[in-house]
Amino acid sequence: MARPATGSMKIEAQADGTLTFRLRFGAYGKRETIRLHEHRDCDCDCGGGWTERTAQVELQNILTRVQAGIWERPKRQPVITEQVFREIPTFHEYASYWLRAKVEGVLGDKPVNENTHADYRSRLRHLLSFFGRYRLDEIDRDLCLAFKAHKIREAQEIREALAAGADLRDERNRKLVPLAPVSIKRLLGALAAILDEAVEDELIEVNPARSRRLKIHVPKPKRTFLEMDELACIEDAAGEQDPSLDLYAQAARAAPIGSSAAAVAVRLSEGKRQAQIVAELGLTKSTVSFHVRKLGALRVGRYVGREAIICTLGRSGVRNSELCDMRIGHLRLHDPEGARFRIPDAKTETGIRDVEVSPYMVEVLIMHIDRLRRAGNDTSPDAWLFQNERGGRMARQRVGEIVLEASALASEKMRERGLPPLPHITPHSLRRTYISISLLSNEFDVKWVMDQVGHADSKMTMDVYAQLQQRAKREHGASFDRLMRKAREQLYGRAETDAGGVLDRQLDRAPKTPPQTRQPRRSDRSQNPRISREITGPRSRDSNSGHRSFQSCALPAELSRREAVDGRLDATGSPGPRASERQPLAPVRSQASR
């Protein structure tokens, strides 16, 4: 057991009469010293205003962090003040200050994270190349409109060049991609945010970037989700893309006994990497690579858990970033209260949650961790659950590539079965897929699904719910036919499905002479009793007896009238040809058409 961390505090008097509390303690084999000042306007990072009691509490907190192994020496942060410009700065100068202030938390509710910082830097590269040399008071609406037109024209020229087959590269030799409307909209949004702060600092009077003419219409992306059979297909496709231990075992049995090829195949079937095989067998790297290449069609590569990634995205609804940040210690697969895993950090406070895990997903994750252990990867509680080929944290872009590769293989399998291919799939599409299936499996319990996926607002959940309702309408036609078949069975006493049709057979059973009916006058109508529940009796929920009584009286009369209209009854009232000899009935025109 490690020795408890110890420390001491010494009080020192300063020339101005205030006190300084010097904390001394050991951390990670070194002697550390931190000074806390009583003076509130000190120019260090302690914050000032310390007393003997609060300094002693701070020492105990530091020792606790050192004992837990999470203490880090505080870094001196640059002091950023709001009033740093004595004259109107250029856009480059002010934008640089704005970015530093956003990172430090001087501007905004809180300091921005690393991903937001990188996004701001990417936007500023576009803005500084156009506005960098201008002073803030020189930027007007016309200049902002010129920037918008320049970016739209530049994107269109790049698209035309790429369509013509040109290989365009940027300054980092990366393939040049034209800006989409949503990217141009974000650039204008960053420009407006920077100039808003300039207005707050009274450097300019109005914000020229807040104009209706600078708005850009961004088409709403078509967001969809997979059907259940499509999710099963993409899961199976991802499983096929993982290196198969069973195929390695078959190759080992087929190889000559005692040969190097058999030894290499056996180690591959155990999930070991080529470097481990070289160390165990004492062979050269080229010899192991030669036997690996001889395996031919077998997929030989580093295991990363493609099937486990697809299953986790599609069966738990986690975000792509949450998937990459998951550690093995977050899993509770054998908990008596139910299998689940913890999401300790998310982009919203609601995203910090416990996610329930299905039994199938438990088996997939157990097999995934076992494959990582066989391959020699770290499987400690602090290890990443989904690791890259070097054993580190998997990037979000790599997860997107795995989803696309599995989607491509699944689409091929769907085409082979005569089914349409899968739509464009992203990790977020699998998140929406989980929401749709969870709504169906839990009888549209929206609150539970929101807790599972970490939604603070029900907008996205209800959006998927609305799309799910639209898909359910595709069955309305079949439901309508089922109701009509039930009504027909009630009307005729049995289902009539042969080729002759119900109408022709009913004509055979029609009366020989058309019934003589008299249209009641207005004075007679008032004497007829109204149809009410007292007369007809209560209608059964499972039957349609009142409707059947009405149709059984009206239908023979209508059919007989059709025979009379078509000339199928002669003058004496005798029936015409039999149903099998008749021609199909012509549609009866309405009274208005006659």
Average pLDDT over residues 465-469: 65
Shared domain check, 290 and 183 = no
Element (H or E) spanning 98, and its range? helix 91-104
Shared domain check, 424 and 365 = yes
Task: State which residues form the domain around 108.
Answer: 91-214
Shared domain check, 430 and 319 = yes
Instruction: Identify the three-state secondary structure at position 420.
Output: coil
Question: Does 172 map to a domain?
Answer: yes
Letter string b/e over residues 202-223, b meaning 16 or more CB atoms within 10 A of that residue's CB: ebbeebbbeeeebebeeeeeee
From the list 505, 504, 486, 506, the residue with the least C-alpha distance to 495 is 486
pLDDT at residue 451 is higher than 70: yes
The pLDDT value recorded for residue 386 is 94
Shared domain check, 203 and 97 = yes
Segment among 159-168, 223-232, 447-456, 542-551 with least mean pLDDT: 542-551
Question: Does 191 map to a domain?
Answer: yes
Shared domain check, 375 and 424 = yes
Question: Does 507 map to a domain?
Answer: yes
Instruction: Name the average pLDDT for the chain.
Output: 78
Is residue 433 classed exposed, middle or buried when 0-12, 13-18 and 19+ CB atoms within 10 A define those classes? Answer: buried
CB atoms within 10 A of CB 430: 29
CB atoms within 10 A of CB 292: 17
Domain stop point among 301, 333, 348 = 301
Structure tokens, 283: 């062979």
Domain stop point among 199, 214, 229 = 214
Cα(97)–Cα(93) distance, integer angstroms: 6
The pLDDT value recorded for residue 333 is 85
From the list 36, 193, 19, 5, the residue with the least C-alpha distance to 101 is 193
Residue 401 CB contacts under 8 Å (≥ 6 apart), including other chains: none
Question: Does 201 map to a domain?
Answer: yes
Shared domain check, 364 and 320 = yes
**DSSP assignment string, 475-530:** GHHHHHHHHHHHHHHHHHSS---STT-HHHHHHHTS-SS--------HHHHTTSPP
Cα(19)–Cα(26) distance, integer angstroms: 23
Question: Does 221 map to a domain?
Answer: no
pLDDT at residue 71 is higher than 80: yes
Cα(5)–Cα(198) distance, integer angstroms: 49
> Which range in 60-69, 166-175, 281-290, 397-406 is most confidently predicted, on average pLDDT?
397-406
pLDDT at residue 159 is higher than 60: yes
Segment among 45-49, 257-261, 530-534 with least mean pLDDT: 530-534
Instruction: Identify the three-state secondary structure at position 71.
Output: coil
| Radius of gyration, alpha carbons of the chain | 38
- The percentage of residues in the chain with a pLDDT greater than 90, rounded to a whole number, is 31
Average pLDDT over residues 494-501: 47
More confident residue, 232 or 273: 232
432 in Cβ contact with 444 (< 8 Å)? no
Average pLDDT over residues 328-354: 80
Cα(430)–Cα(442) distance, integer angstroms: 18
Question: Does 476 map to a domain?
Answer: no
Shared domain check, 357 and 419 = yes
The pLDDT value recorded for residue 473 is 54
Shared domain check, 336 and 423 = yes
Domain stop point among 260, 278, 301 = 301
Question: Does 453 map to a domain?
Answer: no
Cα(229)–Cα(240) distance, integer angstroms: 17
Instruction: Identify the three-state secondary structure at position 543.
Output: coil
Is residue 361 classed exposed, middle or buried when 0-12, 13-18 and 19+ CB atoms within 10 A define those classes? Answer: buried
Number of domains making up the chain: 5
pLDDT at residue 234 is higher than 90: yes
Shared domain check, 322 and 297 = no
pLDDT band at 152 (very low <50, low <70, confident <90, very high): very high
pLDDT at residue 211 is higher than 80: yes
Cα(50)–Cα(41) distance, integer angstroms: 11
pTM for this prediction: 0.57
From the list 139, 259, 249, 266, the residue with the least C-alpha distance to 191 is 139
Average pLDDT over residues 296-317: 81
The pLDDT value recorded for residue 567 is 52
From the list 211, 75, 221, the residue with the least C-alpha distance to 143 is 211
The pLDDT value recorded for residue 389 is 81
Shared domain check, 426 and 360 = yes
CATH number at residue 162: 1.10.150.130
Question: Does 339 map to a domain?
Answer: yes
Shared domain check, 295 and 322 = no
Segment among 184-193, 345-354, 363-372, 511-520 with least mean pLDDT: 511-520
Angle at 382 between CA 381 and CA 387, to 5 degrees: 100
User: Please, what sign has the CA dihedral across residues 108, 109, 111, 116?
Assistant: negative
pLDDT at residue 173 is higher than 90: no
- In eight-state DSSP terms, residue 384 is B
297 in Cβ contact with 284 (< 8 Å)? no
CATH number at residue 374: 1.10.443.10
Shared domain check, 257 and 202 = no
